[in-house]
A and B are shown apart, each in its own frame.
Chain A
């Protein structure tokens, strides 16, 4: 890794929220700054997000881009163990899953550090 690159958890560069319908979860990822957005788009691919959620065995991960909102919407099929009426999880909706995604490490140029949220 170059000295000019930072590895940070995604939550320093973006925020998001989880929604659910049946056995499908959607997680928004919204960049804190327009300059961060293309770097996140390059790294948060469908394959990378599917791998990050491997233990939930998604049958499909689909990503939608919303450049006007510097946001992405990830739709993860089959990750809720059946969803609100079927899962044995305390969190049957999967409300916590946005924070699982926001913990994913991303690499950013060190020069963009002032755009990041939270303590370094």
Chain B
């Protein structure tokens, strides 16, 4: 890489999804402090259904609706981040960024810290009644007759960068695109314009590599004998070094397990990518079709060859709505002819539940590889597996119909094949998703500094 005029910007990522390890940030922050120089800490905690679940929590409790583990994630590192000028950017605001910001304000007070400047990014949440006409216009009649739970546009990095330019030490957002958590800090730090497509694209791919946390460092990668990973139990979280042109080196927190290798980085580079020449985000269309990786040192991989194209005119929007009921039931058969007994139990359930389209899994013989329609199971000859957990699942709009599945699985104790045990049943409210595009101008993003900050 060319020697940049200024030291590289360090961006560490300490969460890749809601529910990620809450102790991950400690080693990342230790490393950022030890290396010195400008640094950010990001947490990525939103997935397609996380926001809908957060909206449901907010309905039940007006002060909830942000990342439930926020306190556990941030409390161990907040004081050291503020003391060392490591700024924090996250989408852990989920369905209620203001409440998350207030939580952080309280946390700082409880820790005896000077009040941090906390910015709240908004504009993504389109669940209010005033947005219904816009959603109806752009998503069509699929919006009619649904019970809406959440509606969020994927907004970009500009509001994050503006908040940082204004001096925010912590930026709390909801549904910003995952890579924008990295692009925002880089835009602000290097002073890039919002039309600097190549640089934005490079930072976007750095963000893409960071956004799933340990997944680029040997998490979600190990396969004994084929892809061995040292100390997976202590897998490290990633740190990107980004230069003033947006090029990056991916590394990881010091003193942690895992590995940053060509293989681990290539898998993550292509994760959830469709056309490599057109990776769409609100900030840019990134092109990795000519990307190259080089291992320059142990646990250090350079990404090169990323180009950028003009950002899309439209923003993606996800609408989550109530989707009836999911019923599931399980029972185990073991020993001689276990698979035959499990298959007989499935046949009993199909005959007892004609109103439900049952999915049948024979866990231990054939389960997750198979399709809901049962084509693979029908094409697979019955085997002689000796420890099989039968699982059946169905969905129905009517709760009473869905509940019958659990009762019939339970009844297998006395009425089903011999030797069945370990029944578990569950009934879960479903959430379904509609996706579409909205004109960018219809979704203005903005930030506000939380009051009472000094």
Contacts and interface: CB of A to CB of B under 8 A. Distances in A.
Interface in A77-120: 81, 83-91, 96-97, 100, 117-119
B371 A22 contact: no
B369 A21 contact: no
Interface string A4-22: 0000000100011101111
B270 A17 contact: yes
A69 B359 CA distance: 39
B337 interface: no
B393 A73 contact: no
Contacts of B274: 21, 24, 26, 62, 64, 73, 75
Interface residues of B, number: 52
A30 B323 CA distance: 38
B316 to A, nearest CB: 10
Interface string B323-363: 10010000000000000000000000000000000010100
B271 A28 contact: yes
17 contacts: A17-B220, A17-B270, A21-B272, A22-B48, A26-B271, A30-B266, A57-B373, A64-B276, A69-B269, A71-B266, A73-B270, A75-B274, A75-B275, A81-B373, A84-B48, A84-B433, A90-B391
A28 B266 contact: yes
Interface in B48-65: 48-49
A42 interface: no
A28 B288 CA distance: 14
Given A69-B269, A84-B49, A90-B367, A119 B225 contact: yes
Nearest to A11: B226
Contacts of B432: 85-86
A40 B266 CA distance: 17
Closest 5 CB pairs of A and B: A19-B272, A88-B359, A28-B270, A91-B368, A55-B376
B448 interface: no
B342 to A, nearest CB: 16
B375 interface: yes
Interface stretch (B128-136, B289-297, B410-418): B289-297
B400 interface: no
Contacts of B292: 68-69
B371 A55 contact: yes
A66 interface: yes
Given A26-B273, A71-B270, A55 B379 contact: yes
Interface in B253-272: 263, 266-272
Contact of A117 (B220, B226, B270): B226
Interface of B: 48-49, 220-221, 223, 225-227, 263, 266-277, 288-293, 305, 320, 323, 326, 359, 361, 367-373, 375-376, 379, 391, 393-395, 430-433, 435
Contacts of B393: 88
Nearest to B380: A55
Contacts of B266: 28, 30, 69, 71
A20 B433 CA distance: 14
B371 A56 contact: yes
Interface in A56-74: 56-57, 62, 64, 66, 68-69, 71, 73
B225 to A, nearest CB: 6
Contacts of A81: 371-373
Contacts of B305: 68
A75 B394 CA distance: 27
A68 B369 contact: no
Contact of A118 (B226, B271, B367): B226
A73 B368 contact: no
Given A26-B270, A57-B375, A90-B361, A15 B226 contact: yes
B368 A89 contact: yes
Contacts of B48: 22, 84-85
Contacts of B375: 55, 57
B211 to A, nearest CB: 12
A17 B368 contact: no
A49 B293 CA distance: 26
Interface in A18-51: 19-22, 24, 26, 28, 30
